[in-house]
Amino acid sequence: MNIISMISEEIKCENWQTEAAIKLIDEGNTIPFIARYRKEATGSLDDEKLRNLSERLTYLRNLQARKEEIISLIDEQGKLTEELKNSILAAEKLVTVEDLYRPYKQKKKTRAEAAKKRGLEPLAEYILKQDATEPVEKEAEKYVTGKIEPASESKEDKIKAEEKEVADVAAAISGASDIIAERISDNADYRAFIRDLTNTEGKIISKAKDPEAESVYQNYYEFEEPVEKAAGHRVLALNRGEAEKFLTVTIDPPKDRITGYLEKQILINDNPYTSPIIKNAVADSYSRLIQPSIEREIRNELTEKAESGAIDVFCKNLTQLLMQPPIAGQTVLGWDPAFRTGCKLAVIDPTGKVLDTKVIYPTAPHNKIEESKKILKDLIKKYNITLISIGNGTASRESEQVVSSLLKEIPDLKVSYIITNEAGASVYSASKLATEEFPEFDVGQRSAASIARRVQDPLAELVKIEPRSIGVGQYQHDMNQKKLSEALSGVVEDAVNRVGVDLNTASAALLSYISGISQAVAKNIVSYRETNGRFKTRQELLKVSKLGAKAFEQCAGFCRINDGSEPLDATGVHPESYEAAKTLLKKMDCEIKEEEKIRAFMKGIRDKKQLADEVGCGEITLVDILKELEKPGRDPREDLPKPILRSDVLELKDLKPGMKLKGTVRNVIDFGAFIDIGVHEDGLVHISRMSDRYIKHPLEVVSVGDIVEVTVLDVDEKKGRISLTMTDTEPGRKVSDKGNKKKPENRVSPKKDYAPGTIGYILAHKK
């Protein structure tokens, strides 16, 4: 097994790129550092490919270690052949390796092992020869021991006697059959064939444990689907329904074909004495040993695939959420809505500093609307508030109505509002980090401050929350939490390093995601800053406790210092390339930020390789340096669509089929996307309503944070459900089959395409 070739083929790159990336990873370099500052070595592999490479490298190395362990274990038994060794070494999946090891694995107490202890293995061999000329019962008589008396009355001696006892001919043949059944089950080739056949022709079936019980899983009370077409969100829904004891889920294999295959492999001839025994052993082997094992493997494989798909969607959604453009330069009022306990407010200045906090009671049961409006007016005038950020939790709709009404009363102040996704705000506000940041505030005030800061700089605020607590995924609580956390942490790390951080203002939480900086070092950076004042140069980082040369190499390029003593410290140019950057500036006869001069110079370059050689760097690095010199410290989020700011409220009753609106994508799942169109409830665009062409996944069309134009298809005021479309299809008309004829599984299908409990499911089953 050539690990480098396998990975190169999987991630679609050259072997030399994979080899270089592996070398850099083994040397302790982080993925963001390799992706940004080692492009020459890897041929510009991006962070996504590098993470996939790293993940596969770990898997394949673990697989290689397991192979070596198994070869050693079989060799110790004196049963290792060259053919077996080569088969193990050639295996590309762990399941194949384990299949090959199965016959040599030390088993727990099995019926076959018990039969072997009774000395019945020769009888099994006799049956498998299939050349008997008389009834097997006659041969089996030789193995009958009758009642064996124990050596003593002790329990141990009685057990030993029972273990050697073969009561009669039937017991002898039964024991020999058990040995044959286990031998069939342990055959790696048979298992591989059965696994493949079950995957391609089997069905996943679910039934209700109690058909009369009401639950969100009623759609799966009588459900079946081909294993090979099982959608990830349905697999996770079935798993959850089974775990909550509403469903019984099984794999229905092509049993007749499988037993027919096994009989064909094992039966040499149609011997009247041995064939019936072997056929019974085949049936027993499959039903008792192979089928349950293969079913577990396939269920696990389906779950792993579904989890990987769900994690991938979560990661892509989280990336878009973290990379939402900040609304800079505004004083923001954060509003954490509530009923009984009142709405908590926090005024945040453009730098993120809390200027004031208040609690008002405009919602039920208090309904102090006029009093609340007066407090709001005073705050807006006192602090020159230009934006109100309202959390989208409980009482959000009622709060929005109060704000909208107020803004109509003070049109000259030009204040807007925005509905902000507050997922995870309560987790943050009760965390140790929030307590350290705002020791004098209660959880409501902290939450209001967080809701305000989320629009000023979404990335800086969201990194304070455990990624899986940010609600942009599906079934995140049902999957491998370690794998999910690792994947999401990688997403946050990539996003933070892509944007970079201001070394003099970044929190410890934000700094801890920078390449090469641990949580402890992040706290040390903040402590150093508090003790010694602002960082003047990146080189000062080397004075921070526990931040050595290697960590400096990894983190320096991602840390920005504005108005420092070294202008290049404000750019994404790494200190190792400062000499090349300064040489370039001399050649251009200009300073940093002189965009026109730099742009003109870039257009006039005739030979990049020659220029790169002259300044002492690679061609790719040369281009990156020029881009940074042109726009130092440029925020990649600037190019993304800005969030929609509102000044008036839109209610559910205002929506009519055919109405066209602009909205923000809040979440993307396997079967569609939820869109915020300015009413309290998000609308659903089903995958079949996203495009006139066939698409495999909604992420091909939309991402979290996208601003999209939608048309209202249907509104259910009673249930608070909104159905939207992004295609030109008129409301009430069937979606065109164009582009979807060969893939009907992506059409609207109430019985298959909606996960239970989702808006889509409820919409599809409404009366």
Structure confidence at residue 745 (pLDDT):
39
CB 705 within 8 A of CB 640: yes
Mind listing the pLDDT tens digit for each residue in 6-51? 999 999 999 999 999 999 999 999 999 999 999 999 999 999 999 9
Task: Please tell me what DSSP assigns to residue 218.
Answer: G
CATH number of domain containing 749? 2.40.50.140
Residue written as token pair 């994979």: 18
User: Where is the domain boundary, 104, 123, 152?
Assistant: 104
3-state secondary structure of 15: helix
Task: Please tell me what DSSP assigns to residue 273.
Answer: T
CB 419 within 8 A of CB 392: yes
Structure confidence at residue 674 (pLDDT):
92
Whether the upstream peptide bond of residue 135 has omega within 30° of 0, thus cis, is no
CB 583 within 8 A of CB 557: no
Angle between helix 595-603 and 619-630 (nearest 10):
150
Mind listing the pLDDT tens digit for each residue in 323-343? 989 998 999 999 999 999 999
Task: Please tell me what DSSP assigns to residue 543.
Answer: G
CATH number of domain containing 88? 1.10.10.650
Mind listing the pLDDT tens digit for each residue in 421-457? 888 888 889 889 899 889 999 999 999 999 999 999 9
Q: What percent of the chain has pLDDT over 70?
A: 94
Angle between helix 619-630 and 608-615 (nearest 10):
80
Residue at 232 is within a domain? no
Residue at 303 is within a domain? no
Between CA 515 and CA 518 the distance in angstroms is 9
On the CB side of 552, CA atoms within 13 Å amount to 15
Residue at 563 is within a domain? no
Residue at 490 is within a domain? no
CATH number of domain containing 367? 3.30.420.140
User: Where is the domain boundary, 75, 104, 133?
Assistant: 104
**Total structural domains within the chain:** 3
3-state secondary structure of 759: helix
3-state secondary structure of 664: strand
User: Where is the domain boundary, 420, 435, 456?
Assistant: 456
Residue at 49 is within a domain? yes
Mean pLDDT of 309-326: 90
3-state secondary structure of 151: coil
Query: Going by C-beta distance under 8 Å and a sequence separation of 6 or more, which residues neighbour residue 26?
Result: none
pLDDT at 167 over 60: yes
Structure confidence at residue 392 (pLDDT):
86
Residue at 739 is within a domain? yes
Q: What does the block give as tokens for 719?
A: 């249930």
Residue written as token pair 């009834």: 135
CB 580 within 8 A of CB 616: yes
Between CA 343 and CA 360 the distance in angstroms is 5
Mean pLDDT of 260-264: 96
pLDDT at 681 over 90: no
On the CB side of 59, CA atoms within 13 Å amount to 13
Query: What is the dihedral angle through the alpha carbons of 20, 21, 23, 24, rounded to the nearest 10 degrees?
Result: 120
Under the banding of pLDDT at 50, 70 and 90, the label for residue 724 is very high
pLDDT winner (highest mean) among 157-161, 353-357, 419-423, 632-636: 353-357
Higher pLDDT, 731 or 237: 237
The beta-strand segments (E) located in 298-415 are: 332-336, 343-348, 354-360, 387-391
113, with CB counted inside 10 A (0-12, 13-18, 19+), is middle
Mean pLDDT of 667-689: 89
Mind listing the pLDDT tens digit for each residue in 585-597? 999 988 887 888 8
3-state secondary structure of 207: strand
Mean pLDDT of 391-402: 89
3-state secondary structure of 451: helix
pLDDT at 757 over 90: no
Q: What does the block give as tokens for 685?
A: 């665009």
DSSP H or E run through 663: strand 660-669
Under the banding of pLDDT at 50, 70 and 90, the label for residue 598 is confident
Structure confidence at residue 760 (pLDDT):
43
pLDDT at 751 over 70: no
- Which residue segment(s) compose the domain that 51 sits in? 3-104
Residue at 472 is within a domain? no
Q: Mean pLDDT over all residues of the chain? A: 90
Residue written as token pair 């800086």: 460
Residue at 546 is within a domain? no
